[in-house]
Amino acid sequence: TQLLEQSPQFLSIQEGENLTVYCNSSSVFSSLQWYRQEPGEGPVLLVTVVTGGEVKKLKRLTFQFGDARKDSSLHITAAQPGDTGLYLCAGADEGQTGANNLFFGTGTRLTVIP
């Protein structure tokens, strides 16, 4: 089992604050993805990082893939109430079938208070 641990599990902050969510594993992944999930909906892909050390920016969100491709972080600048949701990291491992099986982290539930 390829376990991905996220921290913190819960995070409640005021609007305008910055935050960082961490995703750590002992396994190496071919790529790592970050999703956001709203209540009653499926996860929606935010970004995919592939290369060790890669940094991607999506507006106020900055994603980084660790050099060893085992860990990742998500940094949100000036959080907005609309950022509230469950953030999931998922490591992709190309199995024997060639498909990219996703191994999801435990999730970070973010609440941004207006």
Partner 1 sequence: GAGVSQSPRYKVAKRGQDVALRCDPISGHVSLFWYQQALGQGPEFLTYFQNEAQLDKSGLPSDRFFAERPEGSVSTLKIQRTQQEDSAVYLCASSFAGLAGVQFFGPGTRLTVL
Q: Which residues bind partner 1 (CB under 8 A)?
A: 4, 30-31, 33, 40-45, 48, 88, 90, 92, 94-95, 97, 99-107
Q: How far is the CB of 77 from partner 1 (least distance, A)?
A: 25
Q: Return the number of the residue (24 or 100) whose C-beta is nearest partner 1.
A: 100
CB of 69 to partner 1, least distance (A): 13
Closest distance of CB 73 from partner 1, Å:
17
Closer Cβ to partner 1, 1 or 14, answer by number: 1
DSSP-derived pairing of the beta strands 19-25 and 71-76: antiparallel
Q: Output the CA–CA distances (angstroms, integers) from residue 37 to 27, 66, 84, 89, 108, in the order listed.
A: 24, 23, 9, 11, 10
> Of the two residues 77 and 101, which places its CB atom closer to partner 1 in the complex?
101
